[in-house]
Structure 1
Amino acid sequence: MQRFDPVSGARPPPNSARLVIRRDPLPWESGLGWLLWLTEANGYNSPASIVSGGLTTDRDTFRTALSNATTVPVEDILDKFHSKRGHRDCVCLPAGRGAVWMTSRKRPKVCPACISAGLIPAVWDITLWAACPIHRCWMVRKCPQCGSEISWLRPGPDRCGAKGCDGRYSDAKKQGVSDQVAELMLLMGAAARLPGMPRPSALMEAFGALDLADILRLVALVAMPHEVLERTHRLASNRWLNTFDPEEVIDCAAGVLYDWPHNLHRFHARLRRTSSAPEDTTTKSTYPGLWRLTQGRGLSFCPESIRKILLPPLKALIDPLPGRRMRVAPFAERQQDSAPSWISTYDAAARLGLAPSALLLMARRQILRGEFCAHGSRTLLYLRAADVAKLLAEREPSAGKDRILSIVAAREFLGLGKGPFQVLTRRGIIQLTPYSIRSGNDLRPRFSLRPGIRQGGLEAIISLFEKASLSRSEGAVPLGRAVKSLSTHGVNMADVVELVRQGAIDPSVIDPSASNLRRFGLCVSDLKAAYWARCQTNAAPS
């Protein structure tokens, strides 16, 4: 195909080896994304037409031909196409180097909002890059018009390469992500030095010291299935990622890392159940109590940078139980000291229908009182039998305002979605209360502990809006829509409740027939002004 300039219409000689329109790749741009830009700018149908032989030719020949066509040095092209540079298990990342499994171009993906600019960031080549942190949406892997998989052999970054299809990926509908996934992607974007990040991630305080390669290792570690953890303890070969979608891996890892370190017990419980885990000598010398608790199996297969972050929170799960220190008493002494008043964690878990790791978390939050006791070479947590019996006695929720609702029933009672409801629970506006429910048949009943919410606390929030509500005003929109429209500015449902409590904003009744928070609405401009005034007041020096 003959090259031409789409602007001036000038055509170079047939033997010309250089493109008419060319530019150097941007520092954060993908190599194949840069090649697609050159393809569209010079009027080709596929990047394979730029160099003779296409994209499947020998690597050295391809780089040399591309360098001659664009006048870009071969050394810069090596980094753009993730060259190993002599290392068998090392590739170039947008910030530093990483393992081979961290990048993949087999299934290209795009962000519908970012692709309209015609530039493809290098972070889209990362295997676990499943969402866009700038626009808070999942990446797209298919054409919205014909439904075919995205291919690198296409006429432009935003154009479909299927035969007879002129669809554009920017027309695809954006699917929003949860707060957990958004915070994890913001952390990965900051580590990759991606420009245009809206704000720092909430996970930056805990994981900001890790580079991009270590963050990818940590995500793969906490999302690794238990059967894979039983089979291998090396992060260098993550073939199991090929059997899972990146969206599933990111969603699983974000759920564990979002509420750090309270969710760490879920991950570490799998390590304790793994029989083939090697002995963790570093944990034994640094935290001997933790080493005994995990039966000598821990994080020996993790890089040192990740171990420094994982080990202190694991130790923090133990320290606050009996005061501020870990008290280990001989098991024989505990048996002589009123043995019936204490119960082991495993017996209590069998009675309550819970995992032992959940009881450890309840003891840390002082819902249950317990102490660690040495039992041979192991260290076990013993709980007071009276506390366990009290939980078993609460078989049915109370009535009236003391009635305990499940999380689903509480969301329906308030009329809120899952995201705003989680924000209220994390900020402490809604308090979770554990209660036990009975399941199974009458011959072998089983009691399971579930988190619930007292109805009185939910009625207090609704009455707060009723006292501050006015008649319907002009410009008022439903409460959920007003909060969602300002979510990019950092406004959430907890901020709205605090502003209503302080009298900074006045909700309006827009649907009197509703019986929950759906009946109220807010003026978006008033909410935005009150929120920014509150932020400036908090930021002012005292």
Structure 2
Amino acid sequence: MPRLVVRFAHRPTESVRIYVLRLTEANGYSDPSAVRRVAGLPATYAAQPCDLSGLVAAVGGLTDMGTLERAASWQDADGLVRLGATRLAPALVAFSRPRVCVRCLDEGRAAEAGWDVTGCGACPRHGTVLTDACTCGRPLGWSRPALARCRCGRRLEACHVDAPAAAVDVARTLTALANGQAGHHAGLPLTTLDAFAHAVRFLGCADAAPAEWRSNLMTKPTVAGSLAAACRAAPALADWPHGWHDWVLAPGRFGEAAASGAERAILHRRLRVLLSRPGMEGMLDETRRAVASGPHGPLLRPSDFLYTDRAPATFVRGMDAARRLGVCSGTVATLIARGEIQGESLGAGRRRAHVLPVTGIDELVSARAASYDASEAARRLGITVRQIAALRRAGVLPVMRGIPGVRGAGRYGPATVAGLLDRIAVHVAPGLHPGDVSLRDVAERRWVRLPEVLSAVLRGELSVRAPALPIGDIGDVHVAGQAVLRLRHPRTEECLDVREAASRLGVSIRMIPVLVRAGCLVAQEQGPGALARRSVTERSVAAFPRRYALASEYAESWRTNTRTAIARLKERGAIAVVEPDAGRGISSVWRRTSSGGRIAPDTRRERPGRSASHRPFLASTPRAGARETNGSGRRAS
């Protein structure tokens, strides 16, 4: 069998394709086909198993058969191909578009087998971008005359563009694993080239849109694509395992601001395909620990691929948190929605699942155990539970946020209760004066609402005194009785109480609050659900007969009953200001002035000696059943 003129041995880190290409350049051939003819090799010698004894003979036995077979990219029974000193999936090797570092070749160094891995886009020795195309625009192939030349005959130019540091670190690990050495990333459980390259490819296209995911995963990237993929994968693989945990628990994946259920299910399937491969066992364990420490950990079932019970849970479900807090799950959901406690509301099929951090629940349980309910807070302040509720509604005594009480009563912190007494004590002077009344007596006698008194005291508008300092509770604080009365009636105009207003209008007492709510009367002070004493302004009571009229007045003027009068008013388009309610004893009220088609007759009270003919509206409105007559007194035709 013929031999090549120039012969040399195979280098340990190069593939059989690179070895044949070096023999082509040394013997002056234009492409590797001449070497294949001399050695009797088929065109698929590097991809499919064949007899390489001809190549051994062509180089004069300088390389043995076993070395060349290990350097060939032949697929084994597991579907993996050999690259350098290891094996990996064929989809991770750029067979059709090789890459080189021209500076390494110019320095006489051997071509690295790891350059052809799809995740490698930089030279780990020089830190520059690899070359995969010629200046003529053609991509590199295996049918070229030399390693550093293109098929067009031009010599490849060395690239002096610095690659990103993250991409260089990934390339350093890829080439080291291809040469059978330990990777550059310390502590990384991906000890095989196949596992590490799969992780780089997955992280490089994990954030792609669903329509682009499959094409990005199947397409072998160029050098630019490999650099981008390596830069996206490096943060998750560099600081192991913290970088990987940050990637898994990032917003939009399994973190607090999680993605939708459909997107999370897609990511779950992709992770399952990746982590089910051989060599991914360590990465799978870290993924399970990361998911278990996130908000989705409590929602996983034992049959889930990512479930583990060997990692401490940092989140609990809403129902477990409710059980510990002594409330229902709905209360926990409400507190999360209000932002009073830290938690997440996640989609779980057609329903919502609520999760809370364990540390936050522990703090809430401890704070709840140390807090006071309404009864205890009332005992310490020396007032009643009802007055505690009034102080809470007025904002004088706020409840603890995130700690629910029974029926919405809330819980009160010890510091809040003691702080209220300290704030009052700042304004308290020692010694009592004649006529002073305890705040407890003021509240019990209902002279004025306790929140109003305390608010005036805290604003410094009301002087308070105590027999001795420091004060024990609110009952030790005294105020002048006349000052309370002035606080009770800070009138800007003359006011009437409910009984006086009802007497002047000739209505029942129960009508006054209804007229106030309808806007017919003005109340200067209006308490929750009831009017305060002497709160109805005299001006609005005096103006009421001029603006409004009761249905009974219309019925009296038309000499009919109230029901017929109301029906006749509605027929004429009038709108009632107050609708009648016989069950509550409420009469209907109508506006006198005409507006928007409303009919409101003038029903001023008739003075003695004044007939109905002096009331134009009533005179023009005949009584039901009366005969219509002309001016002579005869019946009209």
Higher relative contact order (CA 8 A, sep 6+): 1
TM-score by length of 2: 0.42
Larger-gyration structure (1/2) = 2
TM-score by length of 1: 0.49
